[in-house]
Chains A and B, each alone.
Chain A
Amino acid sequence: MIQLENIRVDFAVRGQSVLAVDDVSLAIERGEVFGIVGASGAGKSTLLRVINLLERPTAGRVRVAGEDITDLRGGELRRARQKIGMIFQHFNLMQNRTVYDNAAYALRVAGKSKAEIARRVPEILRLVGLEDKAQAYPAQLSGGQKQRVGIARAVANHPEVLLCDEPTSALDLETSAAILDLLKEINARLGITIVLISHEMAVIKKICTRVAVMEGGHVVEQGEAYDIFATPQHPFTRQLVEHTLNLELPPHLVDDRQGTILKVLFLGDKAEEGVLSTASIRHGVAVNILHGKIEYIGHRAVGLLVVLLTDSPDAPAGLPFPLRLQAALSYIGSQASHVEVLHD
């Protein structure tokens, strides 16, 4: 649906050139929800704005729906943009127009007939759950409602692509979740390809099928959301995921430990409890669960446990603890998807 090839964007700031996006290539499939995640200043917004050429790339090609739009200008570019919806972090609604007029904006621009607009606007307002607010002004709406108007405006003219620049960053958690659900529904029901930017892994995890991770203008890692989340490769991605999982231990647990602390990752539906209790019985170590979490990405689960292995008082006589611990570690390692020793 969208192909970005070797995109590079330079900005001239007071004579100096700033490289915001450096040689990025992405292929986004029809009907998917593609996430772009990264820290502030990584170049996410710039890359997103290249897709509808709000930002012209210094080098590289942009293809949307099979058409190379990189060199389009004037009317041709405007017609191409009418097929690409966009929503914004700060909604960007016209303050002096009603919800109805805001939602109708893209249709009017596209030159739709009065009759068609009168038919389509109520339909689209119903889809976003604002049919009773048609005559309200943006100032009378909550943040979540404003973003719904933004979504209505963006999808009214049946775009094939919806670009979302941090659509939930100005909203509280609950409203955020509702907006993401709405986007998911729009993707599923209308088949619109969504490209979504966020600096939060939690948002990506909730709706994206695939993700690109950006740092310093580069895409450092991309792949299925599940894989990025379960087995991040790049240090920056790891840090992001770790931050989202928030498996911090209180310092006293680490300082006063009498054994080894492990982080154990289970993918899919491996029975984690079973593995740990088998390790405990078979190798005579005590397993204490310090922290744990099961995350669902799409329909698949990622289980993460932080456990402390200590000497068990009722261990069979014979093997010393370090050897039993070694055996237990290698058993868990063979059963779980990934094991990492956090503190020896």
Chain B
Amino acid sequence: MIEQWIAANFSPELAKQVVELFVDLLNAFGETFLMVSISTLFAIVGGLPLGFLLHVTSRKLFWNNRLANVTGNFLVNVLRSIPFVILLVLLLPLTQWVLGTTIGPTAAAVPLSVAAIAFYARLVESSLCEVDPGVVEAAEAFGTSPLRIIATVLFPEALPGFLRGLTVTLISLIGYSAMAGIVGGGGIGDLAIRFGYYRYQTNVMVVTVVVLVVLVQLVQSLGDRLASRADKKDI
């Protein structure tokens, strides 16, 4: 329909191009969505517990364990300090071993997930540190068990921070996923580079950038809304 409209008003040439771009864009979008979803899922199921581990191993009340704390922190710091492009390459053997291939969005999701876990764990830990120690102490004074304090005090009090952190993680992942595209992951970033950089189709690049900007805006405002709904500190 749009194709016919463009063909009639401009040129059939342009119409064909637009349709092709649209299909490519949709495909790339789907791939990006897949990569980001998988790695976000891992950020939650892996990063959240790891963040809690970093926190509880540094607190006398819970499980003061220097070894676990130092190890966890070291791991997170190492993963966070390796530039993502390098991590991509370094983890190729892991990806090969886990999935049997290193091509495609699912394969790209492996290094993305590893980076996401480390990234989100750090944000989770810093949100937990911001929970008022007085509130934890109050719970302790009422005879609450450490596990219960984690579930009924730390988690709900830090939840807005977790949501904000998740938003930041998600946005970073969208950026990282563009890099993953370079090594065969596909997605929007890949599209931008293939058309915009290698084929000098600047308009494709512009369109993908616009799409990315819109996507990031959407994620950010959705995240903000969720976080502020969970946050009762200033209402």
Q: Could you tell me the distance between the alpha carbons of A106 and B148 in the complex, rounded to whole angstroms?
A: 12
Is there contact, CB below 8 Å, between A139 and B141? no
Q: How many angstroms from the CA of A108 to the CA of B139 in the assembled complex?
A: 11
Report whether B148 and A109 are in contact in the complex, using a CB–CB cutoff of 8 Å: yes
Give the contacts of B196-235 with A (CB-CB under 8 A).
Answer: 230-235
Question: Could you tell me how many residues of chain A have their Cβ less than 8 Å away from some Cβ of chain B?
Answer: 32
B134 close to A (CB within 8 Å): yes
Whether B156 lies near A52 (C-beta < 8 A) is no
Q: List 30 A-B contacts (CB under 8 A).
A: A52-B141, A75-B145, A78-B145, A79-B143, A81-B140, A81-B142, A82-B142, A82-B143, A86-B138, A86-B141, A86-B142, A88-B138, A92-B132, A92-B134, A93-B135, A93-B138, A95-B132, A95-B157, A95-B233, A96-B156, A96-B160, A106-B143, A108-B152, A137-B232, A137-B235, A138-B232, A139-B235, A153-B138, A157-B142, A163-B141
The main secondary structure of chain B at its interface with chain A is helix
Let me know if A92 and B137 touch, CB within 8 A.
Answer: yes
Q: Which residue of the partner chain A has the closest CB to B230?
A: A96
Q: A84-B141, A138-B232 are in contact. List 16 more A-B contacts (CB 8 A).
A: A54-B140, A54-B141, A78-B143, A82-B143, A88-B134, A90-B134, A92-B132, A95-B157, A96-B156, A96-B230, A97-B232, A105-B139, A105-B142, A105-B152, A139-B235, A153-B142
How many pairs of A and B residues are in contact by the CB < 8 Å rule?
A: 76
Establish whether residues B159 and A96, one from each chain, have CB atoms under 8 Å apart when the complex forms.
yes
**B234 / chain A contacts, CB cutoff of 8 Å:** 139
Contacts of A97 in B (CB 8 A): 156, 232
A77's nearest neighbour on chain B, judged by CB, is B143
Q: Which residues of B contact A85 (CB under 8 A)?
A: 142
The complex places the Cα of A109 from the Cα of B141 at a distance, in Å, of 11
Judged by a CB distance under 8 angstroms, whether B153 is at the interface is: yes
Given A82-B143, A86-B141, A110-B143, CB of A96 within 8 Å of CB of B231: yes
B144 contacts chain A at the CB level, 8 A cutoff: yes
Q: Which of A96, A138, A139 has the most CB of B within 10 A?
A: A96
Closest to B153 in A: A94
| Interface 0/1 of B108-138, CB less than 8 Å to A | 0000000000000000000000001011011
Q: Which residues of chain A from 123 to 143 have any CB-CB distance to chain B below 8 Å in the complex? A: 137-140
With both beta carbons as reference points, the residue of chain B lying nearest to A137 in the complex is identified as B232
Contact of A109 among B135, B137, B143, B235 (CB under 8 A): B143
A315 at the interface (CB under 8 A from B): no
Does A290 make an interface contact (CB < 8 A)? no
CB closest chain-B residue, reference A75? B145
> Which chain B residues border A52 with CB–CB below 8 Å?
141
